[in-house]
Amino acid sequence: MITIKEMAQMLDISTTTVSNVIHGKTGEVSSATIEKVRRLIEEYDYVPNINARNLARNESGIIGLAMKTNRDKYENFIKDPFAGELTGAVESCVRAKGYFIMLYISDDISEIINSVASWNVDGLILFGIAKEDGILLKKRVKKPMVFVDCYIEDSIFEYVNVGIEDRKGCYEITKHLISKGHKKIAYLADNCEGGDYERFKGFKDAITEAGISYDEEDFIMLRPNGADLSLLLADVHRRVKSYTAFVCASDYYAVHIINYLKDHGVSIPEDISIVGFDDNEYSRMVRPALTTVHQDISQKGGIAVEKLFQMIHEEDYGENYTRLPVYVVERDSVKEV
């Protein structure tokens, strides 16, 4: 790899001049020199050493994409289609800005924090961050960052977040069920925090509004403490007769449940209606195709990147919170009762 200095020597000019033509500051360079330099660059395939540049400029051109994982939940995080799509969307937007993505996937937030400092990343996009980690992050890293799908009470600290209307979405789809005559509805999720909690609230909003009573039993907790999924599915199966509809906190579970139930002789939506949340590929692939609420993950990633760069450039980035709209998409997993 040829360097600026070498080129300067070869042409018997200064590094500044070379640097200037490299950066298109050609206002102050004679066209003869420009030409000479350009030729050399071409001939020797000059590419700048980014480390040196970053060191000198005290920037990095790197955007960190950090995902906090859950060791007992994922063996391979990006396998999750959600994470994959988000990664892809973020990558392409960041690349379009001439920056690079460094991927941090870890269940140890301080590992992420150290890497970020070490690499002097210019900005950070965070996904899957819970309260304590958010606090730590906020305290230890002084770079622009935007959270995705984060639900930390904003009383604790200010942060910019891009998420979706989790609560409203779940409210809408539950209302949809109710409008089809359903009155005995259960909510199924694997936790009761963050977005899933919001969705749960939306569920309750809808049934409360419809005058349907809610009992703790109607929250079916999936996979508490890593118990075997098929055991839980068996339990779900047992409870089919108590309800006319299930609202699942995610398509992932909805699809698993549909398949399990079908395999065990229950007809959907005849015996029970099922709806999901996310509108991912799976929801289109199951049969009956899943009625669910749609969210646009690529848009989410795009907006997160947009905001991050506004922060980096110290422009106005608008509200701290942005909640992207969602909507119900009707397919075939709900019947009128």
User: Residue numbers of the site for its own copies (CB under 8 A)?
Assistant: 1, 45, 47-52, 54-55, 60, 75-81, 83-85, 87-89, 91-92, 95, 100-103, 105-106, 114-115, 117-120, 140, 255, 259, 262-263, 281-282, 285-287, 298
**Coil, strand, or helix at residue 329?**
strand
Contacted by 13, from DNA, its own copies, none: CB < 5 to 8 Å by type: DNA
Least distance to DNA, CB of residue 121, Å: 15
Question: Any contact of residue 55 with DNA (CB under 7 A)?
Answer: yes
Strands (E), 72-207: 100-106, 123-127, 145-148, 160-164, 185-189
Q: Nearer to DNA by C-beta: 18 or 177?
A: 18
Q: CA-to-CA distance for 273 and 237, rounded, in angstroms? A: 13
Beta carbons of 269 and 334 less than 8 angstroms apart: yes
Contact string (CB under 7 A) for DNA, positions 15-44, x = contact: xxx-xx-xx---xxxx-xx-----------
**Coil, strand, or helix at residue 122?**
coil
Q: What is the DSSP letter of 278?
A: B
Using alpha carbons, select from 47, 48, 38 the residue that is nearest to residue 17: 38
Least distance to DNA, CB of residue 29, Å: 4
Q: What is the CA 180 to chain-centroid distance, rounded?
A: 32
Contacted by 32, from DNA, its own copies, none: CB < 5 to 8 Å by type: DNA
Is 106 exposed, middle or buried (CB count within 10 Å of its CB: 0-12, 13-18, 19+)?
middle
Structure token digits, residue 323: 């909640």
Contact string (CB under 7 A) for DNA, positions 57-96, x = contact: xx--------------------------------------
Contact string (CB under 7 A) for DNA, positions 280-309, x = contact: ------------------------------
Q: CA-to-CA distance for 216 and 29, rounded, in angstroms? A: 76
DSSP sequence for 200-216: HHHHHHHHHHTT----G
* Span of 10-18, 72-80, 122-130, 131-139 interacting with DNA by CB under 7 A: 10-18
Binding site for DNA (CB under 7 A): 1, 3-5, 12-17, 19-20, 22-23, 27-30, 32-33, 48-49, 52-53, 55-58
